[in-house]
């Protein structure tokens, strides 16, 4: 389970980035685009930080 969760987070980030692009191209409200983009950034940061070596 050690490398599965960060992989899933990075996959989710990719899907969300695609969603941001799709929403933007369809002319969705700015709030929806910004919220989806923030979720993509959070998923990316979470996945990368999880992969960094830490204590223990």
**Residue pLDDT, tens place only, 22-36:** 999 999 999 999 999
Q: Can you tell me which residue has the tokens 């799709």?
A: 22
- The answer to whether residue 1 scores a pLDDT higher than 80 is no
* pLDDT confidence band for 55 (50 / 70 / 90): low
Nearest alpha-carbon partner for 33 in 49, 43, 22: 22
pTM: 0.88
Cβ atoms < 10 Å from Cβ of 47:
19
Q: Please state the rounded mean pLDDT for residues 7-30.
A: 97
Measured CA angle at 53 (ends 41, 7), to 5 deg: 45
Domain boundaries, the chain: 4-51
């Amino acid at each position: 389970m050690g490398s599965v969760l960060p992989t899933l987070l990075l996959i989710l980030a990719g899907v969300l980035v695609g969603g941001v692009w799709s929403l933007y191209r369809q002319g969705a409200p700015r709030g929806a685009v910004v919220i989806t983009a923030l979720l993509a950034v959070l998923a990316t940061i979470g996945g990368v930080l999880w992969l960094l070596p830490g204590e223990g």
